[in-house]
Amino acid sequence: MLQQPAITFSVDVLKGKEVITKSTYLADLTNLFKNEEARLDMPQDQLIYRVTLYKPVAEGTPGGLFFGTTIIEPGQIATEYFMTRGHFHARGDRAEYYWCIQGEGALLLMDRKRNIRAERMYPGSLHYIPAHTAHRTINTSTEPLSFGACWPADAGYDYEGIAHHGFSGRIFQVDNVPQLVKL
């Protein structure tokens, strides 16, 4: 007799009794977007993104792996698309995989020297996020963007660097198409 898996994934969310869900609203994203006034003019209870997470081992377990999905709502603050906070890993040498499930987007990748590039995300695209590379995802379409992620259980998150210095580029809608504008 085969056992039922503890966790399954559908198009966008993980399901199972150990799944953790984290939602991020516009109110949580002070000073993240270039136009802070435009952010304040919008409903603060607007959902921007949610993450469903499966952590089969304790945070920090060497050799363990976490799995998650992220769904970013469509929308813009002025001409900047809804996006995630973005982070380096607290253990900077830890890498990660992302793969796009649904929608269209961009993955912004910045190394420690602040060199920046963006990869196009579309259903089936696979993205290797190298060590020491900050990562942020952006929904560039009018549908929700969902993607999967798998990362080491001891990677952790370093949001501070990004909160203070930001990324060295942003994705704006220019002439109806997403464009990476380097700062």
Which residues of the chain form contacts with ligand PAN (CB under 6 A)? 51, 68, 70, 84-87, 96, 135, 137, 149, 151, 155, 157
User: Nearest to residue 12, comparing CAs of 43, 41, 62, 51?
Assistant: 51
The length of the chain in residues reads 183
Least distance to ligand PAN from the beta carbon of 28, Å?
9
Residue 167 beta carbon to Zn ion: minimum distance, rounded to whole angstroms: 14
Could you tell me the smallest distance in angstroms from the CB atom of residue 4 to ligand PAN?
25
Residue 70 binds which of Zn ion, ligand PAN, none (CB < 5-8 A, kind-dependent): ligand PAN
The CA-atom distances, in angstroms, between 36 and each of 119, 132, 138 are 26, 28, 17
- Tell me if 72 sits within 8 A of 105, measured CB to CB: yes
Q: Say how many C-beta atoms besides its own lie within 10 A of residue 173's C-beta.
A: 14
CB 95 within 8 Å of CB 167:
no
Nearer of residues 147 and 172 to ligand PAN, judged by Cβ: 147
Q: How far is the CB of 122 from ligand PAN (least distance, A)?
A: 17
Place of tokens 């998150």: 157
Say how many Å lie between the first and final Cα of the chain, rounded: 58
Nearer of residues 136 and 178 to ligand PAN, judged by Cβ? 136
| Distance in angstroms (rounded) separating the CA atoms of residues 102 and 138 | 13
CA angle 149, 136, 139 (to 5 degrees): 90
Per-residue contact track with Zn ion, 65 to 104, x per CB under 5 A?
Answer: -------------------------------x--------
Kindly identify the residues of this chain, within the stretch 2-41, that bind Zn ion according to CB under 5 A: none
Nearer to ligand PAN by Cβ, of 1 and 131: the residue is 131
Q: Which is nearer to ligand PAN, 36 or 59 (CB)?
A: 59
Distance CA 147, CA 102 (A): 7
Quick one: 34 or 161, whose CB is closer to ligand PAN? Answer: 161
Residue number of the CB atom closest to Zn ion: 96
What residues line the site for Zn ion (CB under 5 A)? 96
